[in-house]
């Protein structure tokens, strides 16, 4: 996490998973509808426990899965009736994943103080990376090179560590050489550049030029950022590498981020919630789903155009559009019709107050 590109990628994915709302839906004859009355809705949408929000827990566990091969873990504390009342995050290092030799069913051994406690698979919220290998493990070499380049840059520029030139003198006396060096640094050290050099007659100054490797140093660091972006499957522009970024491809990469980067993590979370919070019977009619509409909206203009198309297609009502804009509903706004083809002779679906009608007249 000391490498900026790694830190940015981890925070980007973890924060996106955490901030996207997730809701519990129930299937019905019309399709699906939100089921806020179910006890599991609060744990996934609102709060994981009294001191941790559901969004914060998702951010923490996703971060754990990005940095640890074993993944991220949270224990589901249940009542005597078996109802989950809270999730408590535990450190990945404290968990050992095992499986039953006869059935293959996984279970977890969690170190709690001096004892190890067994938890069944439906009592642990477990988020794991692809192939049970964290991206930082798969990209170990690329991250190591990036860290080496970072340290080299710090050493290169710290306290002007690299000399700008060499003084060649015929002096043999050590004291005289130190005096020349001290005099030169006092006159042309940090903050004193640009003066006139006066050196002994037998002294010659030779400047040090940048080598071809030094000239490609910035390019090498940029390439390592791209390598880390590949490991995390994050578009380089989202790691603020805008070398090849344009308005058009940056917008497209935002869509790719949702489709190819976030979606596998969101599906893992939806199943993890369902496995712990819903019984097998409930899972036949209920499911968790992330709401990703905000990520699909890249600008106000495109959002307005999308809403306009949905209204003209008869997909959304006026109040559904207003709900998407966080506006209160209006009377008559639940009529599903195309406002662009409504006859002028028809009564308006939204009636204005009498005072406003008189003013308009």
Task: Calculate the alpha carbon distances from 146 to 83, 158, 238 in Å.
Answer: 47, 18, 18
Q: In the predicted model, is pLDDT for residue 348 greater than 90?
A: no
106-112 and 286-290 strand pairing: unpaired
Query: Over the Cα atoms of the chain, what is R_g?
Result: 31
Which residues in 3-127 belong to E strands, given as ranges?
22-28, 31-34, 47-49, 52-53, 72-78, 84-90, 95-99, 106-112, 115-120, 124-127
Q: In the predicted model, is pLDDT for residue 61 greater than 80?
A: yes
Question: Among 93, 94, 123, which Cα is nearest to 106's?
Answer: 123
CA distance from start to end of the chain: 66
What is the DSSP annotation of 287-352?
EEEE--HHHH---HHHHHHHHHHHHHTTSS-HHHHHHHTT----TTTT----TTT--TTSPPSSPP
Give the 3-state secondary structure of residue 248.
helix
| % pLDDT > 90, the chain | 38
Q: In the predicted model, is pLDDT for residue 212 greater than 60?
A: no
CB 26 within 8 A of CB 278: no
Q: In the predicted model, is pLDDT for residue 208 greater than 80?
A: no
Mean pLDDT value of segment 197-202: 64
The dihedral sign for the CA sequence 336, 342, 343, 348: positive
Buried b (16+ CB within 10 A) or exposed e, 332-347: ebeeeeeeeeeeeeee
Question: In this predicted structure, which of 83-87, 129-133, 138-142, 176-180 has the lowest mean pLDDT?
Answer: 176-180
**Cα 107 to Cα 121: distance, rounded to the nearest angstrom:** 5
Q: In the predicted model, is pLDDT for residue 339 greater than 50?
A: yes
Arithmetic mean of pLDDT over the chain: 81
pLDDT recorded at residue 278:
94
- Which of residues 183 and 1 earns the better pLDDT score? 1
**Cα 256 to Cα 264: distance, rounded to the nearest angstrom:** 12
At 336, phi and psi to the nearest 5? -90, 95
Mean pLDDT value of segment 161-184: 71
Mean pLDDT value of segment 193-213: 62
Q: Report the 10 Å Cβ neighbour count for 235.
A: 20
Within 8 A by CB and 6+ apart from 119, the residues are 75, 107, 108, 109, 110
pLDDT digits (tens, 9 = 90+) for 25-57: 999 887 888 999 999 999 999 999 999 999 999
pLDDT digits (tens, 9 = 90+) for 213-272: 555 767 777 788 888 888 898 988 888 777 776 666 667 777 788 888 899 999 999 999
Q: In the predicted model, is pLDDT for residue 22 greater than 60?
A: yes
CB 250 within 8 A of CB 238: no
Question: Among 50, 31, 229, 57, which Cα is nearest to 135's?
Answer: 229
At 22, phi and psi to the nearest 5? -125, 135
- Which of residues 288 and 340 earns the better pLDDT score? 288
- Which of residues 27 and 208 earns the better pLDDT score? 27
pLDDT recorded at residue 201:
62
pLDDT recorded at residue 324:
77
Within 8 A by CB and 6+ apart from 301, the residues are none
Give the 3-state secondary structure of residue 202.
coil
What torsion do the CA atoms of 252, 256, 262, 268 make, to the nearest 10 degrees?
A: 150
Q: In the predicted model, is pLDDT for residue 157 greater than 60?
A: yes
Which residues in 221-291 belong to E strands, given as ranges?
286-290
Q: In the predicted model, is pLDDT for residue 211 greater than 90?
A: no
pLDDT recorded at residue 16:
92
pLDDT recorded at residue 110:
94
Mean pLDDT value of segment 157-172: 63
């Amino acid at each position: 996490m000391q490498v900026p590109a790694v830190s940015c990628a981890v925070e980007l994915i973890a924060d996106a998973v955490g901030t996207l709302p997730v809701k519990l839906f129930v299937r019905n004859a019309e399709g699906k509808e939100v089921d806020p009355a179910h006890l599991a809705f609060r744990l996934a949408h609102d709060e994981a426990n009294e001191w941790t929000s559901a969004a914060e827990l998702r951010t923490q566990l996703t971060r754990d899965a990005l940095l640890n091969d074993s993944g991220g873990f949270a224990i589901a504390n249940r009542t005597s009736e078996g109802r989950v009342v809270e999730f408590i995050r535990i450190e990945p290092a404290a968990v050992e994943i095992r499986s039953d030799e006869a059935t293959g069913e996984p279970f977890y051994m969690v170190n709690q103080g001096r004892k190890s406690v067994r938890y069944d698979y439906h009592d642990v919220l477990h988020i794991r990376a692809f192939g049970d290998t964290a991206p930082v493990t798969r990209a170990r070499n690329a991250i190591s090179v990036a860290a080496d380049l970072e340290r080299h840059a710090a050493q290169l520029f710290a306290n002007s560590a690299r000399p700008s030139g060499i003084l060649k003198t015929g002096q043999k006396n050590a004291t005289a050489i130190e005096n020349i060096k001290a005099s030169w640094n006092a006159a042309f050290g940090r903050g004193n550049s640009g003066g006139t050099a006066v050196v002994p007659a037998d002294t010659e100054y030779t400047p040090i030029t940048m080598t071809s490797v030094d000239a490609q140093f910035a390019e090498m660091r940029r390439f390592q950022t791209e390598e880390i972006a590949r490991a995390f499957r994050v578009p380089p522009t989202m790691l603020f590498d805008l070398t090849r970024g344009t308005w058009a491809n940056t917008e497209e990469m935002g869509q790719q981020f949702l489709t190819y980067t976030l979606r596998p993590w969101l599906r893992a979370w939806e199943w993890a919630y369902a496995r712990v919070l819903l019984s097998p019977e409930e899972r036949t009619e209920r499911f968790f789903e992330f709401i990703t509409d905000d990520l699909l909206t890249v600008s106000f203009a495109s959002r307005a155009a999308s809403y306009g198309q949905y209204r003209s297609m008869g997909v959304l009502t006026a109040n559904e559009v207003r709900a998407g804009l966080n506006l209160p509903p209006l009377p008559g706004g639940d009529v599903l019709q195309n406002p662009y083809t409504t006859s002028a002779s028809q009564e308006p679906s939204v009636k204005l107050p009498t005072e406003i009608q008189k003013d308009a007249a």
